[in-house]
Homo-oligomer: A and B are copies of this chain.
Amino acid sequence: MKLIILRSNLKEGLSAVERAVSDNNNLPILRNVLIKTYNNKIKIAATNLELGITKFTSGKIIEEGGITVPFSTLYSIVNNTDSERINLETKNNTLIFKTDNYEAKIQGVTEEEFPIIPKIENEDYNMEIEAPIFKDGVFKVVSAAQISEIRPEISGVLIDFQMTLMKLVATDAFRLAYKTINTNQFKHNFNHGFKVIVPLKTISEVVRIFGDNQPIKIYMDNTQILFKNEELELISRIIDGDYPDYEQIIPKGIETEIILNKDYLVNALKLVSNFAGRTNDIKLKIDEGSKVVEIYSVSQSLGENKYLIPAKIKGEKVSEISFNWRYLMDGLKAVDSENLLFGINGSVKPANIKSPEDESYSYILMPIKSV
């Protein structure tokens, strides 16, 4: 292999595959990155056997070939070099990295020893969606998911594809977030709906590395999901298991409806949480007559505090309801509008946060049971 590549292209490529590099000591080659000429492009790839990422970039190819070298060494050199053009050349099992005044000989391993990144067998069926729409949907729900060894099926984001619409869902059993993407926002050629659970790490990588300018194509088989555009391929195992019946959890009615300013509530949580205990427990008092929501917390050792927010309140009085303020904050952040609609169903049943103007996103949160 012999080629010339712009520093910015090499850096972008390494950055794209970074999280697929493993630190597995039993299989040291997984700490390597593959650099290889392919169809007149330069292919940069890494895999940890669960997640594989490939980036295709351009450069001047003088001689075909490939090699694998330790990712961290190469990435650190690329980050620190100040030359725009980089010469890469293999000699035996060494990658020679050369600029005007610098030369590194990096010990590598032949590309033949690098694990083959799997492929989707049947690429006939796929869907295509504008990247900003998909990424925004993931962003809105992903904070509600959590890695769980006991319940692997919730350690990811559910794509619930129903032909004419698609729902992105995440939950950790204390809260649940969903975002609906309508049929006019994507194309597909599937002939039936499906549910697929995408691991948290995988979906986070999709959001991180896919640019906004090209649509994302999504392919699937029984064990894997592939996200790709013209430059990038990200393939991952999917999570095997039954996702909780989330529709059942969504509250049907609302006993107390509050409309209040989102930024005020964010400020209130930041302040009032100073006296919250280890359970992150803050309380709300809601009374239609008062026209304010009182947010407060009390600490045996530190003291107490309260914050008042003007609000439109309709329905039952709630004299005390407790929430984990961090969970509440996660839900708020995903609401795009200035005001939000906070629906409460007594101090035991799940509450519901959404935009008053947009039904497509909803964040369901369980209150903390009072001691």
Spot the interface stretch: A148-156, A229-237, A297-305: A297-305
Q: Is the CB of A105 within 8 A of B304?
A: yes
A207 and B102 CA atoms in complex are apart in Å by 37
Cβ contacts under 8 Å, A73 to chain B: 274-275, 302-303
Q: What is the minimal beta-carbon distance from A127 to any residue of chain B, in angstroms?
A: 43
A101 and B261 CA atoms in complex are apart in Å by 14
Spot the interface stretch: A75-83, A283-291, A338-346: A75-83
Chain A 244-291 interface residues, beta-carbon cutoff 8 Å to B: 264, 267-268, 270-271, 274-275
Spot the interface stretch: A58-66, A162-170, A306-314, A322-330: A306-314
Q: Is the CB of A70 within 8 A of B302?
A: yes
Q: Does A103 contact B (CB under 8 A)?
A: yes
For chain A, the count of residues having a C-beta within 8 Å of the partner chain is: 32
Contact status of A274 and B107, CB under 8 A, knowing A101-B309, A102-B307, A305-B102: no
Q: Is the CB of B271 within 8 A of A302?
A: no
Q: Is the CB of A107 within 8 A of B306?
A: no
Contact with B along A97-116 (1 / 0, CB 8 A): 10001111111000000000
Cβ contacts under 8 Å, A268 to chain B: 102
Q: Is the CB of A104 within 8 A of B275?
A: yes
Cβ contacts under 8 Å, A101 to chain B: 264, 307-309
Q: Is the CB of B106 within 8 A of A303?
A: yes
Partner of A76, one of B102, B274, B306: B274
Q: Does A94 contact B (CB under 8 A)?
A: yes
A302 and B270 CA atoms in complex are apart in Å by 48
Q: Is the CB of A80 within 8 A of B303?
A: no
Cβ contacts under 8 Å, A81 to chain B: 267, 271
Cβ contacts under 8 Å, A304 to chain B: 104-105
A346 and B303 CA atoms in complex are apart in Å by 66
Q: Is the CB of B303 within 8 A of A104?
A: yes
A268 and B83 CA atoms in complex are apart in Å by 12
Q: What is the minimal beta-carbon distance from A146 to any residue of chain B, in angstroms?
A: 26
Chain A 185-210 interface residues, beta-carbon cutoff 8 Å to B: none
Q: What is the minimal beta-carbon distance from A47 to any residue of chain B, in angstroms?
A: 21
Cβ contacts under 8 Å, A309 to chain B: 101
A103 and B297 CA atoms in complex are apart in Å by 11
A12 and B76 CA atoms in complex are apart in Å by 38
Q: Is the CB of B271 within 8 A of A303?
A: no
Partner of A274, one of B77, B271, B305: B77
A101 and B307 CA atoms in complex are apart in Å by 6
20 new A-B pairs (CB below 8 Å) besides A102-B308, A105-B305, A106-B302?
Answer: A73-B274, A80-B267, A80-B270, A80-B271, A80-B274, A82-B267, A97-B305, A101-B264, A101-B308, A102-B268, A102-B305, A102-B306, A102-B307, A103-B305, A104-B274, A104-B275, A104-B303, A105-B303, A105-B304, A106-B303
Q: Give 24 CB contacts A-B under 8 Å.
A: A77-B271, A77-B274, A77-B305, A80-B271, A80-B274, A82-B267, A94-B303, A97-B305, A101-B264, A101-B307, A102-B271, A102-B305, A102-B306, A102-B308, A103-B305, A103-B306, A104-B271, A104-B274, A104-B275, A104-B303, A104-B305, A105-B303, A105-B304, A107-B302
Q: Enumerate the 3 nearest inter-chain pairs by beta-carbon distance, A residue then B residue, closest first.
A: A104-B305, A80-B270, A107-B303
